[in-house]
Amino acid sequence: MAQVAVNPDEEVVLGEEVGHVRVITLNQPRRLNVISFEVVELLARLLEKWEKDDNAELILIKGSGRAFSAGGDLKMFYDGRMSKDPSLEVVYRMYWLCYHIHTYKKTQVFATPEASIGFHTDCGFSYILSHLPGHLGEFLGLTGARLNGAELVSAGLATHIVPSEKLPELQSRLMSLNSGDEHAVKSAIEEFSTSVEIDEQSVLNKKAIIDECFAKDSVEEILISSEAEASEEGNAWIAPFLKGLKRSSPTALKITLQSIREGRKQTLAESMKKEFRITMNILRTVISGDVYEGIRAVTIDKDNAPKWDPPTIDAVEAEKIEQVFQPFEEDLELKIPTGDEFRWHGKYEDSPYAASK
């Protein structure tokens, strides 16, 4: 077994090459394997190397602990909030990497325990959520509702459920295949998968009400409709989701709704470019500093009492929301790897954000 020495001192990412199989292990379980600048850099280099390697057929990506967070190092962004361009390089690299993974040319298998942090639906999720049945995407994006394994599969957000205790055995089986053949990989995963049965009380069984409420044109109307439904007998399940809506950043809610709605009419590439602009503008506090107030309340002071600016939905101006969606100058836009000539890591180094390192 050959191990790629990507960073012998820190070893935040481990890379292994075994026959035609390549394994990436995120190796910071005590930090929830947070996707930091260093992790993004190492992931990008390994994935690019193996995508060009004819001997690499199957890529396995996992965490060394039971959880990982794809939302980035929140404290890093918070600490850099006073700089002119906070953490621009890691944001650019993260979006570049996400699109690379979405369009990767080799068979991939991810072990992904649930994670939930963020300030809008980023890294392709305005596209993914917008293509879920009905208005489930708006419901998930606005309420922050979590789905369990069976619900993820039923909603089309995952393909299989494999109990955590079976993952080591599944990894061994996949590596023994020594192949990227999709049918063989799928068959091996199904051997270790459990059946998908959603609970009777699952939100996925509340589709009619979700569609009724979350099809509305605005966040204000969604709140009004949700409150009306919550007052009906048998609809107590709505209360915690409604509570989540009401305690969220009004600005972030409006950005999220518009982003998901636009995602329905966009390609994945267009959605990623849009989300990159939104993320950069949010970090630059173009219209609000809510992202830093949210990080402070949850991870710094941990008082869970953010003071949003503005504090109410009706105080959020539509013109300001539009500001975070506006295109950048061409040389500052996200240059996603749409073809081989733009795919490899060297092209990223030509970006203006790399120069700010």
Per-residue pLDDT tens for 17-49? 999 999 998 876 554 445 567 778 888 889 889
Question: Nearest-5° angle of CA 22, CA 28, CA 33?
Answer: 80
Q: Are 276 and 91 in contact (CB under 8 A)?
A: yes
Q: Is the pLDDT of residue 285 over 80?
A: yes
Three-class DSSP category at 21: strand
CATH no. for 118-145+199-326: 3.90.226.10
Closest CA to 139 of 153, 119, 121: 121
For 214-272, the pLDDT digits (tens) are 999 999 999 999 999 999 999 999 999 999 889 899 999 999 999 999 999 999 999 99
Contact 4, 15 (CB under 8 A): yes
**Mean pLDDT computed over 284-308:** 89
| Residue ranges, CATH 3.90.226.10, the chain | 1-117+162-195, 118-145+199-326
In this predicted structure, which of 6-10, 197-201, 345-349 has the lowest mean pLDDT? 6-10
Between vectors from CA 202 to CA 200 and to CA 205, what angle results, nearest 5°?
Answer: 75
Name the nearest CA neighbour of 13 among 54, 53, 66, 64: 64
Phi, psi for residue 82 in degrees, rounded to 5: -90, -10
Mean pLDDT calculated for residue range 140-161: 89
**Cis ω for the linkage preceding 310 (within 30 of 0):** yes
3-class SS of residue 40: helix
Q: Residue 86: pLDDT above 80?
A: no
Of 20-34, 49-63, 159-173, the poorest mean pLDDT is in: 20-34
Q: How many degrees, rounded to 5, is the angle at CA 323 between CA 321 and CA 325?
A: 85
How far is residue 25's CA from residue 31's CA, in Å, rounded to a whole number?
A: 14
| All residues at 6 or more sequence positions from 82 whose CB lies less than 8 Å from its CB, including other chains | none
* Average model confidence (pLDDT) across the chain: 83
Of 36, 43, 23, nearest to 15 by C-alpha is: 23
Highest mean pLDDT of the ranges 68-82, 106-120, 214-228, 328-342: 214-228
Residue 158: φ, ψ to 5°: -150, 165
User: Distance between CA atoms of 226 and 212, rounded to whole angstroms?
Assistant: 9
Q: Which of 85-94, 107-116, 214-223 has the lowest average pLDDT?
A: 107-116
Amino acid at 24: I
Q: What span, in angstroms and rounded, lies between the C-alpha atoms of 97 and 48?
A: 10
Contacts of 41 (CB under 8 A, 6+ apart): 93
State what percent of residues in the chain have pLDDT above 70.
Answer: 81
Q: Do residues 179 and 57 lie in contact, with contact meaning Cβ atoms separated by under 8 Å?
A: yes
C-alpha radius of gyration, the chain, whole number: 21
Residue pair 237/206 in contact by the 8 Å Cβ criterion:
yes
pLDDT level of residue 117 (50, 70, 90 thresholds) = very low
CA distances from 290 to 78, 233, 241, 248, 301 (A): 11, 36, 20, 10, 15
Model confidence pLDDT, tens digit, residues 309-344: 999 999 999 999 999 999 999 888 988 766 665 555
What is the per-residue pLDDT for 7?
A: 44
pLDDT at position 319 is: 95
The CATH architecture annotation of domain 1-117+162-195 reads Alpha-Beta Complex (3.90)
pTM above 0.95, yes or no: no
When comparing pLDDT for 82 and 335, which is higher? Answer: 335
- Cα–Cα dist 118/46, whole Å: 26
SS3 content of the chain, % helix, strand, coil (to 5): 50, 5, 40
